[in-house]
């Protein structure tokens, strides 16, 4: 039986920032790039910047339903003394007609249709009698009024989307408008998630003495998907070093492995023992609550591996603080850490000295202020899986703060 | 050719709130419910509330690696005068051993293992010599110290998740911890999205005179997916009433139809003309910018249908204001409208009188304050598809405000 000494191989205590830096130094963007049709782009990460292939708009066009006119013809028009013009064309959007508007003429034109040659202004239909053969114009338009100019939004060659952004509906639409049919996106990082512990039983399964239902493998798998990764394997392993070694050796090809549980200093913390034997995994006591014991390194072959503490809140916090940033880096995303937003603590709570606290909080808005309060009565207690469900994010309390008082400004990450 | 009069059938001007109320009155939660394994639950909407099947924790267990002891035995222990106990068991997490700790005895116990009968406290390993046959205890524990009590988080029968919440990693994990294997979720609303306009060309396709690339069908499809719906069909239709009627008649079964384009009062606005002929669709001029002309009603057979104005920013804003809430209602979600958050306007802009403005804004945090600024120089101009890509959400400017000044508090919805 290994030593019980808590100091044995426990690693030095490091700050959250230092540990994150070590993690990020250990992962690089994946080289795999795919080209996907725009319809499949949402949620993917743009692998390289893309530029517009067209001018936007592509041609001078009408911003209104009305009449394209020569401004000089209607300069004197008033409601009492309207100018009457011959309507020489009817131009719906999508028309490929290419008429010329001469002196004394107008073209009936719909929003989006090209401004015909000769015309230099559009009179909205509301300022006319709406005539079809001849139209009576009751007011003079300003030069260029109601005309959207070619390329006023974007010119061909202008940057539309930067490498590293996450594609969503609006970015996909911008790419479509810019004449693109497909986009280069980062390959999906394949992530194996492994919950360890002989006490774990499949969800809903019968519980023997001392057994609990596994929630960590589902938590990790869903967090990986939310962060843009692809779960290559999801499994539970008992605290058996042989089974663990066998799995590591025979696992499906993947880009990242995440273990939950078994990284503390106890005799049965087999993830720690097996990973320590590899010699390529660091163990750190990170100055945070929850989530103190953290393992990070590589498996044989170079695959990055995390060993997270096993309590569900610790898993969720460790994922947010370290695994999610690593996944964002694998995806080539620029923003690997979620932004924090200011909120006002609705009630007070305490935080441990010299440790950064991640407090699950529920958020609400009152009178123009965002209010945060601990999501469960147990606060940051690391075994309160049910409380996690009520959290909208985490309040991140700095290392030097030991008391958060009602009314204090706190930084929150919104994860929902 | 229909009348050019702008008032013909234009509908009365209504507020955003009144139109939304009319929309929500026209859609009801879908009756379809599925049961899905927890692993497939993320992103789905819980169809009925679920309660825990187990106590959480399920048994008194150790919160630390250490020794389970009888407190009376070690009440006098000090570092200089430790108490020595016989170690009668070694209890890893997941052990089904059921030992009794008698007077003068202790059990080596790991985090999460059941507290053995007879023991009433846990001494952390750091306060012992870590012995295996006999252990030397250097300090007296407090009663119940380092013991997590059965059901202290949740009791069997307690509510875990409320009907109408969107499942995510943490909620799925809470359900797993509560002994559930699958969850009842709302069926996915099937949504047909149709971009109309004879000027539309497939993304990346060659452009003839007056043609533009369709971005609206992709925008709508991705917005539907982001809002929790399933796209049953995505297509483009030219401004041809016959083709439109044929599609409506022969469409795939679906729960909602969304048209973009063709709802204004022009002669070629065929969506308006075809829907108006049905007699079951209302046309409104909604007091908003952008997005004024809005159609909502039902198709033959009762399927709800939206007709949105066709400019991309109008589509995105109309979707946010009306279609997304309708989808949330179909899903049975409680919160059908996204919350707004306070932000400070970084620069000023103007807003039309008596219309609610949805200004695409980019957000950033500086010195504990969230700052919002128009995402593109063109502001709320409704044809700036490229600008939309830069927006993090919309600032919602009330009807009575005509000038937003730098430093003003504005309400924003964060959509990214």
- Which DSSP string do the residues of B318-384 spell out, in sequence order? HIIIIIHHHHHHHTT-S--S---EEEEESS-EE--TTSEEEEEEEEEEETTEEEEEESSTTTT-TT-
Give A322's DSSP letter: I
Pair A192, A257: CB distance under 8 Å: yes
C-alpha span between B70 and B141 (Å, rounded)? 9
Q: Dump pLDDT digits (tens) for B260-273.
A: 998 887 777 899 99
Q: Do B59 and A339 touch (CB under 8 A)?
A: no
Task: Give the three-class secondary structure for B160.
Answer: strand
For chain B, what's the residue count? 416
Residue A381 has what pLDDT?
55
The confidence score (pLDDT) of residue A1 equals 28
Phi, psi angle pair for B143, to nearest 5°: -60, 130
Distance CA A234, CA A381 (A): 26
- At residue B152, the pLDDT reads 87
What pLDDT is stored for residue A387 in this prediction? 76
Interface of B with A in 258-297 (CB under 8 A): 264-268
- Do the Cβ atoms of B94 and A312 come within 8 Å? no
State the pLDDT at residue A6.
38
Write down the residue that tokens 């603590």 correspond to: A345
Q: What is the reported pLDDT for A3? A: 29
Checking if the pLDDT of B84 tops 90, the result is: yes
Q: What is the pLDDT of residue B359?
A: 95
Domain residue spans in chain A? Answer: 13-32+188-330, 33-56+152-186, 61-148, 341-414
* Interchain pair B3, A267: CB under 8 A: no
Q: Which of the four CATH numbers 4.10.140.10, 3.40.980.10, 3.40.50.1100, 3.30.450.20 does domain B13-32+189-330 have?
A: 3.40.980.10
Q: How far does B173 lie from chain A, in Å, by closest CA?
A: 5
Its sign, for the CA torsion B167, B171, B175, B176, is positive
Burial class, B64, CB count within 10 angstroms (exposed 0-12 / middle 13-18 / buried 19+):
buried
Is domain A13-32+188-330 classified as CATH 3.40.50.2300? no
**Helix crossing, A169-177 with B216-226: angle to 10°?**
170
A94 contacts A111 by C-beta, under 8 angstroms: no
Closest partner residue to B173 (CB to CB) among A126, A215, A340 is A215
- C-alpha to C-alpha distance for A91 and A112, rounded to whole angstroms: 10
Q: Which residue of B has its CA nearest to A153?
A: B384
- For chain A, the farthest-separated pair of C-alpha atoms sits apart, in whole angstroms, at 104
Query: Closest-CA residue in chain B for A95?
Result: B210
- Rounded to an integer, what distance in angstroms lies between the CA atom of residue B122 and that of residue B383? 68
A318 and A294 in contact (C-beta within 8 Å)? Answer: yes
Predicted local distance difference test score (pLDDT) of residue A369: 87
CA A162 distance to own-chain centroid = 14
Determine the pLDDT at residue B377.
Answer: 67
The answer to whether B290 and B317 have CB atoms below 8 angstroms apart is yes
β strands within A242-355, DSSP E: 256-260, 281-286, 288-289, 293-298, 304-308, 341-345, 349-350
Q: How many CB atoms are located within 10 Å of the residue B399 CB?
A: 17
Helix (H) or strand (E) holding A226: helix A216-226
Does the pLDDT at position B10 exceed 70? no
- pLDDT for B379 equals 58
Contact B64, B111 (CB under 8 A): yes
Across the interface, whether the CB atoms of A204 and B218 are under 8 A apart is answered no
Question: Which of B132, B203, B365 faces A176 most closely, judged by CB atoms?
Answer: B203
| Nearest alpha carbon to residue A340 among A406, A405, A397 | A397
State the fold for domain A341-414: Beta-clip (2.40.340)
Q: Rounded CA gap, A259 and A164, in Å?
A: 27
Burial of residue B210 (number of CB atoms within 10 Å: 0-12, 13-18, 19+): buried
Superfamily of domain B61-148: Molybdopterin biosynthesis moea protein, domain 3. (2.170.190.11)
The answer to whether the Cβ–Cβ distance between B59 and A209 falls below 8 Å is yes
Confidence class for position B385, pLDDT limits 50, 70, 90: low
Residue B144: pLDDT band by 50, 70, 90 thresholds?
confident
How many whole angstroms separate alpha carbon A144 and alpha carbon B340? 38
B391 Cβ contact list (under 8 Å, min separation 6): A170, B360, B361, B362, B375, B376, B415, B416
Separation between Cα atoms, residue A339 and residue B193, nearest integer Å: 33
Share of chain B above pLDDT 70, in %: 95
Interface of A with B in 358-397 (CB under 8 A): 365, 368-370, 378, 383-389, 391
Q: Do A221 and B126 touch (CB under 8 A)?
A: no
Pairing of the two strands B356-366 and B288-289:
parallel
Between the two ends of chain B, the Cα-to-Cα distance in Å is 44
Q: In whole numbers, what is the pLDDT of chain B averaged over residues?
A: 92
Nearest CA in chain A to B265: A65
Q: Is B49 within 8 Å of chain A by CB?
A: no
pLDDT in tens, chain A (416 residues): 222 333 334 455 899 999 999 999 999 999 999 999 999 999 999 999 999 999 999 999 998 889 999 999 999 999 899 999 999 999 998 888 999 999 999 999 998 899 999 999 999 998 999 999 999 999 998 877 899 999 988 899 999 999 999 999 999 999 999 999 999 999 999 999 999 999 999 999 999 999 999 999 999 999 999 999 999 999 999 999 999 999 999 999 999 999 999 888 777 789 999 999 999 999 999 999 998 899 999 999 999 999 999 989 999 999 999 999 999 999 999 889 999 999 999 999 999 999 999 999 999 988 888 999 999 865 555 556 667 888 999 999 999 999 999 999 999 999 87
Q: Which of B94, B200, B310 sits opposite A197 (nearest CB)?
A: B94
> Phi and psi dihedrals of A78, rounded to 5?
-140, 165
Asked whether A99 and A116 are in contact (CB, 8 A), the reply is yes
Q: Which of A177-181, B31-35, B143-147 is the least confident region?
A: B143-147
CB within 8 A of B117, min separation 6: which ones?
B98, B99, B100, B101
How many angstroms separate the CA of residue B355 from the nearest CA in chain A? 19
Q: Are B290 and B311 in contact (CB under 8 A)?
A: yes
User: Can you give the pLDDT at residue A10?
Assistant: 46
Region B111-117: what's the mean pLDDT? 93
Q: Return the CATH number of the domain spanning residue range B42-56+155-186.
A: 3.90.105.10
pLDDT at A356: 97
Q: Which of B90, B210, B312 lies nearest to residue A94, judging by beta carbons?
A: B210
Write the pLDDT tens digit of every residue in B11-25.
Answer: 568 999 999 999 999
For tokens 């009762």, the residue is B302
CATH superfamily for A33-56+152-186 is: Molybdopterin biosynthesis moea protein, domain 2 (3.90.105.10)
């Amino acid at each position: 039986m290994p030593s019980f000494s808590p100091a044995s191989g426990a690693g030095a205590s490091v700050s959250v920032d230092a540990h994150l830096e070590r993690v990020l130094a250990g992962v690089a963007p994946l080289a795999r790039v795919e080209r996907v049709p725009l319809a499949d782009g949402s949620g993917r990460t743009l692998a390289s910047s893309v530029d517009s292939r067209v001018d936007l708009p592509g041609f001078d066009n009408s911003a209104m339903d009305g009449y394209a006119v020569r401004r000089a013809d209607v300069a004197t028009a008033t409601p009492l003394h309207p100018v009457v013009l011959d309507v020489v064309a009817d131009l719906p959007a999508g028309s490929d007609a290419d008429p010329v508007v001469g002196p004394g003429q107008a073209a009936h034109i719909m929003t989006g249709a090209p401004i015909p040659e000769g015309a230099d202004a559009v009179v909205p239909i509301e300022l006319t009698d709406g005539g079809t053969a001849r139209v009576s114009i009751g007011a003079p338009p300003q030069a260029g009024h109601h005309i959207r100019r070619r390329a006023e939004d974007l010119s061909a060659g202008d940057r539309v989307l930067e490498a590293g952004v996450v594609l969503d509906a609006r970015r996909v639409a911008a790419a479509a408008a810019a004449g693109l049919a497909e986009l280069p996106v980062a390959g999906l990082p394949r992530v194996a998630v492994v919950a360890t512990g002989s006490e774990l039983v499949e969800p809903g399964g019968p519980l023997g003495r001392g057994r609990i239902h596994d929630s960590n493998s589902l938590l990790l798998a869903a967090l990986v998907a939310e962060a843009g990764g692809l779960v290559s394997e999801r499994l539970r392993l008992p605290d058996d070093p042989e089974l663990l070694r066998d799995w590591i050796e025979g696992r499906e090809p993947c880009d990242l492995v995440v273990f939950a549980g078994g990284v503390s200093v106890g005799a049965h913390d087999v993830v720690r023992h097996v990973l320590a034997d590899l010699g390529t995994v660091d163990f750190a006591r990170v100055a945070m609550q929850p989530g103190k014991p953290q393992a990070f390194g590589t498996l044989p072959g170079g695959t990055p591996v995390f060993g997270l503490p096993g309590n569900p809140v610790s898993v969720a916090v460790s994922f947010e603080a370290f695994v999610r940033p690593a996944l964002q880096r694998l995806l080539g995303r620029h923003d690997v850490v979620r932004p924090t937003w200011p909120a006002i603590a609705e009630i007070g709570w305490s935080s441990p000295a010299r440790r950064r606290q991640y407090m699950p909080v529920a958020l609400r808005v009152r009178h123009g202020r965002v209010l945060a309060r601990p999501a469960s009565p147990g606060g940051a207690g690391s075994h309160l899986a049910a409380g996690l469900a009520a959290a909208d994010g985490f309040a991140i309390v700095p290392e030097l703060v030991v008391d958060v008082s009602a009314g204090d400004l706190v930084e929150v990450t919104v994860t929902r």
